[in-house]
Amino acid sequence: MLLLTADHVLVDRRFLAGGAVLIGDDGRIVAAGRADELAALPSAAASTRLDLDGHALLPGCINAHTHSFQVLLRGNGDNARNFREWVDGHLYPLVMRLDERAIVAAALLAYAEMALAGTTTVGEFFYVHHGRDGSGGGNTHATAVIEAARRLGIRIALLRTMYDLGSKPGQARFRETADAAAANTRELHALYAADPTVVVRPAPHSLHGASEAMIRAASEIAAEFRAPFHIHLAEQQGDLSFSTSTYGVSPLRAIERMGALSERTVLVHGIWLDDGERALLADAGGALVYNPLTNMALGDGVARIPDLVARGVPVALGTDANNRLNLFDEMRTVEYLQRVSALEMGIVAGADPDSRGTALPLLEMGTANGARALGIEAGRIAPGLWADLVAISLDDPSLWPAACSGGDDLLNAVVFSMVAQTAVRHSWVAGRPLVRDGRLANMSLDEIRDEIAAVVQS
């Protein structure tokens, strides 16, 4: 047992002063509340106690959508003229160069940076299944990515992509038949069934990447796993005309007609959903993963987040193309994008009746809603959930003066001003250290830099 105490602990959606978390040997939270009360519990008597003076404890961030290999696009493609040029002139040339060593090096770099900025779970939407010549396939690369996450000690939801459309040379690295994709997804799921820090979810790529048969297969596997499935949908305006010409209806209506819209459906992007589709998503109990910084970078557009929040759709967050790997940046960008569009303030807080006018709904997009989107038991500091926690230093100047007052001021500062890369000092996944004293607990950053240098120069 481990008893963590801190100046402030986020429990029941508020910062509690003088709080603590009691963690069982199985890595789950036993209790959370006032430190003096937890210390008096009989179950805490034999625990190891760690007093995090000058720190606040939060649930770790959950990055619900990332393609880790795209971190290698940094410095290349930032000034493409449009999305199509970015895809064809930058993304696909990178895809054609990737080998397994580069895939692993990119995953280590991306996940290390995420961890150092407070992320404890990564949702990896992974689709480069085949070798450079289109050979191989199966789960070799997906397994290598999972093993990279395990080396670092970060939790991973491998969103195993199912892709059977497209004729570009790069797409040959993604394509499988629906039968092969389904078999490989089930096999990968079984392979990691005994590891509580790894889950596998089906992820038909998109309407342009996955056929109706593939999307139906993914939906069936999700039901079998009792878990969500993820699909890119309505990211670009062009996705509407593709759906209309292929299926005769808008993207989410196409999913509905396939019988694949339910509470297991998690849409990635959803920028160009119309009013009726947003209502449809809410009525079905589905969720959304939103990637505002990537949407800005690629000129995708602005999703109608306040409307989705008001309808009760859980909105999670991701870093997608991974130019920056910080969920706190994504949280504040959700709100700021709405402000420049609507010329108002406090927009997401205003759309959530339970927010007390605070940044709480933004923080929950990067934590509890991410857990919901990935189907994992984390995202809050509450008994029974995994002890995936982050300790931030109240000595970090980006939290002053709110660090002195605590409460909702501190919560707002965490979302709107904190520089996570310097404020995050420690983190744990299932009670085991991921970041210690501002450094990776299980690997050296030097080793990762050397791997990146080796694959870039090869």
CB 335 within 8 A of CB 305: no
| Nearer to Zn ion among residue 7 and residue 320 (C-beta) | 320
| Nearer to Zn ion among residue 164 and residue 235 (C-beta) | 235
What is the rounded distance in angstroms from the CA atom of residue 396 to the CA atom of residue 4?
20
By beta carbon distance, the residue nearest Zn ion is 320
352 binds Zn ion (CB under 5 A): no
| Nearer to Zn ion among residue 232 and residue 278 (C-beta) | 232
Least distance in angstroms from the C-beta of 289 to Zn ion:
9
364 binds Zn ion (CB under 5 A): no
Q: In what order do the strands lie in the sheet with 198-204?
A: 61-66, 119-126, 155-162, 198-204
Least distance in angstroms from the C-beta of 163 to Zn ion:
12
Q: What is the DSSP letter of 28?
A: B
Contact region with Zn ion (CB under 5 A), list: 39-47, 317-325, 327-335, 375-383 = 317-325
Partners of 4 in beta bridges = 21, 50
| Nearer to Zn ion among residue 320 and residue 352 (C-beta) | 320
CB 423 within 8 A of CB 390: no
Least distance in angstroms from the C-beta of 184 to Zn ion:
20
DSSP 427-455: EEETTEEEEETTEESSS-HHHHHHHHHHH
| Nearer to Zn ion among residue 127 and residue 328 (C-beta) | 127
Least distance in angstroms from the C-beta of 13 to Zn ion:
29
Spatial neighbors of 389 by CB under 8 A, at least 6 apart, are 4, 21, 57, 58, 59, 60, 120, 381, 427, 428
Contact region with Zn ion (CB under 5 A), list: 21-29, 74-82, 252-260, 316-324 = 316-324
Least distance in angstroms from the C-beta of 359 to Zn ion:
25
Q: In what order do the strands lie in the sheet with 287-290?
A: 229-233, 265-269, 287-290, 315-317
Contact region with Zn ion (CB under 5 A), list: 22-30, 299-307, 320-328, 330-338 = 320-328
Least distance in angstroms from the C-beta of 425 to Zn ion:
30
Q: Alpha-carbon torsion 37, 41, 45, 50, what sign?
A: negative
| Nearer to Zn ion among residue 114 and residue 392 (C-beta) | 114
DSSP E strands in 148-296: the ranges are 155-162, 198-204, 229-233, 265-269, 287-290
Binding mask 115-134 for Zn ion (x = CB under 5 A): --------------------
320 binds Zn ion (CB under 5 A): yes
Cis peptide before 202 (omega within 30 of 0): no
Rounded to the nearest 5°, which phi and psi values hold at 310? -65, -30
| Nearer to Zn ion among residue 300 and residue 388 (C-beta) | 300
| Nearer to Zn ion among residue 322 and residue 355 (C-beta) | 322
List Cα–Cα distances, 13 to 57, 311, 406, in angstroms: 12, 20, 13
Contact region with Zn ion (CB under 5 A), list: 47-55, 318-326, 407-415, 434-442 = 318-326
Least distance in angstroms from the C-beta of 377 to Zn ion:
24
Residues that bind Zn ion (CB under 5 A): 320
